[in-house]
Amino acid sequence: MRIFDPHIHMTSRTTDDYQAMYDAGVRALVEPSFWLGQPRTSPASFFDYFDALLGWEPFRAAQYGIAHHCTLALNPKEANDPRCTPVLDALPRYLVKDSVVAVGEIGYDSMTPAEDHALAAQLQLAADHGLPALVHTPHRDKLTGLRRTIDVVHESDLAPEAVLLDHLNETTVQDALDSGCWAGFSIYPDTKMDEDRMVALLRVHGTERILVNSAADWGRSDPLKTRKVGDAMLAAGFTDDDVDQVLWRNPVAFYGRSGRLHLDTTGPEPLHEGNSILRGGE
């Protein structure tokens, strides 16, 4: 089983997670930029973070035979903080980087005017740079937030088929698919979706334009949930080809719109910025 996790926050994970993911079949991933868990206090902290997603994390992933890509953006939660909004002006110099395969995560958290502005501005940046967009649908009042998001997408210069609406569930999947966008589902141990609910949705909606991710972060989460969805699909009677479409071909097709996917996982460089990841080695 080959797996492309299209949304996972590896900055928050350990090297043991990388090894376990490789053993489970993960060969490629996309790491979206997101909230750190506490407020950032200046744009400079974003820039160091972006640089790590462009350099350090790909180096770390390559040690375990996994191709690492990222999406960059001002996230919805921090779009409300005036200390952070200058990031919007700096994003263009990052969006030209080779391993950036989308603008994201963008979208809504509390559906404020500041979030409206950041979402529209970053959809335009995606259109201007020929990139797709990864959109975070809000955790609260999810259906209202999804419909508001779809309206903004349809008003933008970015085609719906270049937009992935993520963190969906049973109440939002039909609206998302009807919009022409791609539908993303985060599989978690306790919250959002689980693998059995995901299989039930796939029975109803099929496997076209649907992506499944672990979204594993600094909270309770599981970086092997993609594999568990694949196993649950097979146990429910889906074919190997169905699993390959959902867990590999669909994310490749969506992020491939960027023209920047590099799925070769040949050996890593020996050092990144002088760091070999070894402890005490030469």
Q: What is the predicted pLDDT for the residue at 282?
A: 46
- Closest of 280, 204, 269, 281 to residue 62, by C-alpha: 269
> Distance from CA of residue 228 to its chain's centroid?
18
pLDDT < 70 regions, the chain: 191, 266-282
Q: What is the pLDDT of residues 73-126, one digit of tens each?
A: 999 999 999 999 999 999 999 999 999 999 999 999 999 999 999 999 999 999
Is residue 135 a contact partner of residue 122, using CB atoms and an 8 Å limit?
A: no
b/e per residue 70-105 (b: at least 16 CB within 10 A): bbbbbbbbbbeeeebbebbeebeebbebebbbbbbb
Cis peptide before 273 (omega within 30 of 0): no
* Per-residue model confidence (pLDDT) at position 269: 67
Backbone φ, ψ for residue 134 (5° rounding): -100, 120
Helices assigned H by DSSP within the chain: 15-24, 43-54, 56-62, 87-95, 113-128, 142-155, 173-178, 195-205, 225-235, 240-244, 250-255
- Separation of alpha carbons 248 and 242, rounded Å: 10
